[in-house]
Amino acid sequence: MISAEKARQLLCDFNIIATPALSLDKIFEHYNIIYDEMDYGNKNYMGSLIRAEGRQIILVNTDIKNVGRINFTKAHELGHFSLNHKGEQFECSRTDLMDNTRKPLEIEANQFAKEFLLPEQMVKPISISASFDFDTIKAISNEYMVSKLVAVFRMLDFHSGNYAVIGSKDGLVAHLGISKSLIGKINFLKSGDSIRNNSFAKECMVSDFRMTGYESIDPKTWVTRNKSGSAISLKEYSRADKSSGSALTLLKVSFL
């Protein structure tokens, strides 16, 4: 895909061989992109690419105090620039930077950001060899300066196991990703659905319960349809951030 190719070319042009997020400001300077960030008081607004009077301007909202989110927004807006998307201004919302956005140009900018910040040649070996768990997610997140959600979704691009990832906010599904091996076989709760009361994710949110590994769970807690033709078992591993009302859930499917 052209967006990933553009990102790889940029990495090559600037000889970036480790933690690409650290090179974003250098790239902005090279292309004379004016970069600024400020607290806009609007958590739905993430950032903009503005073309005005021959200048390129990238603005990022720092209202959400998350370095990984800021880096992804910066790379996303750089994607609009590098892909030469037509338009004088791109104002990108939280939804635009989500995996389920349906806007073609935002999808391309997200794909660019993902490939730039987490290059396949760097992240794929880790994703294949390491365990699909929160220790690996944290390690990738810290090394590449991205959010844990971005890190785990990138792992899904390469992992051969039967895994799904669900990010929830205020008890509702906000993000869903599945490994390639489950496509067309298993349907999970979709965006906007309420997470079930019997889920470990719910328990983590309402109590001091903390999971240290995968635990067996009734598949119906997360699975809405099994089209595989085989019975399944399901294991859940969830972590919650009560301060933000969010939870991240890893699901492992076994076919019986």
- The answer to whether residues 8 and 84 belong to one domain is yes
DSSP 8-state code for residue 32? T
What are the pLDDT digits (tens) for 133-151?
999 999 999 999 999 999 9
State residue 253 phi and psi, 5-degree precision.
Answer: -100, 135
Claim to verify: residue 112 and residue 174 sit in the same structural domain: no
Residues 106 and 175 in one domain: no
Q: List residues bridging with 251 in a β-sheet.
A: 164, 236
**Domain extent for 42:** 2-117
Q: Are strands 186-188 and 246-255 parallel, antiparallel or unpaired?
A: unpaired
On whether residue 21 sits in a domain, the answer given is: yes
* pLDDT score of 108 more than 80: yes
Q: Is residue 195 located within the same domain as residue 112?
A: no
CATH number at residue 74: 1.10.10
Q: What is the pLDDT at residue 30?
A: 96
Question: Is the same domain home to 105 and 16?
Answer: yes
pLDDT in tens, 18-45: 999 999 999 999 999 999 998 888 888 9
Q: Same domain for 93 and 171?
A: no
Are 24 and 10 in contact by the 8 Å Cβ rule? The answer is: no
Query: What is the number of domains present in the chain?
Result: 2
Beta strand 33-38 with 55-61 is: parallel
Question: In this structure, is residue 108 part of a structural domain?
Answer: yes
- Local structure of 117: helix, strand or coil: helix
Q: What's the average model confidence in pLDDT over 213-230?
A: 97
Judge whether 132 lies within some domain.
Answer: no
Q: What percent of the chain clears pLDDT 90, i.e. is strictly above it?
A: 84
- pLDDT of 168: 95
The average confidence (pLDDT) of the chain is 93
| CA–CA dist 99, 108 (Å, integer) | 11
